[in-house]
Amino acid sequence: MTRQAGEPDPQSASVGAPDGLPAGRVGRPHGLDGSFYVTRPRPRLLSLGVAVTLAGRTVPIVRRAGTEQRPIVRLEGIDGRAAAEALRGTELFVDGGDASTLGEGEWWAHELEGCEVVDGEKLLGSVNRLIELPSCEALEVRAADGGEVILVPMVKDAVRVVAPARKRIEVDIEFLDLAGRARQAGEPQTADEHGADA
């Protein structure tokens, strides 16, 4: 599709990506007013009025709808479905200083990615990403024992300490009912454990 005069060129986004926190990518258009879905969203960064940088310019979010998993936004100056479609796939960035201030006990998702998840000396695995569940956020943990992905809810009973600077998150494996998974980290499973199918 062709761009209207004054529209940013989506190709320019790949040249010298701006400093800032990645907030997602422009997805398919929604409606006729220039709104679009955001893919790979970081919902906390996508608040109404927050300035977003894409394709060489910075503009505010003037509409925020949809869900946390599938946000819909419209940016100032992106008018019409064709304009939104022309930006499809473009990365969105938010300046850390302009993003909503985090409260005590809150972290950006990218700070938690790669952190080791432990209970004392027992390694459970490492964080793939932070995901949104209907009732809370959860850590998607790549298991150290090579088994299935583990979900750790970000609730006080499950998570004792979050230390992104040390790339370490301490959890309560008894509360999570994962004592067996942690004990098996780096050890061979028994036939009974392989066959268990609760």
pLDDT for 97 equals: 56
Which residues form the domain of 181? 109-195
- 168 and 114 within one domain: yes
pLDDT tier for residue 152 given thresholds of 50, 70 and 90: very high
Q: Which domain-ending residue is among 65, 94, 123?
A: 94
pLDDT for 20 equals: 76
**Which pLDDT tens digit goes with each residue over 11-70?**
333 333 456 788 899 999 999 999 999 998 888 788 888 999 998 899 999 999 998 889
The answer to whether the beta carbons of residues 113 and 130 sit under 8 Å apart is yes
pLDDT for 16 equals: 37
**Which pLDDT tens digit goes with each residue over 126-146?**
999 888 777 888 999 999 988
Which tokens sit at 4?
């209207």
- 41 and 14 within one domain: yes
**Which pLDDT tens digit goes with each residue over 68-85?**
889 999 999 999 999 999
Asked whether residue 101 is domain-assigned, the answer is no
- 115 and 77 within one domain: no
Q: CB neighbours of 44 closer than 8 A, spacing ≥ 6?
A: 99, 100, 102, 108
**Which pLDDT tens digit goes with each residue over 85-125?**
999 999 999 886 555 556 667 787 778 899 999 999 999 99
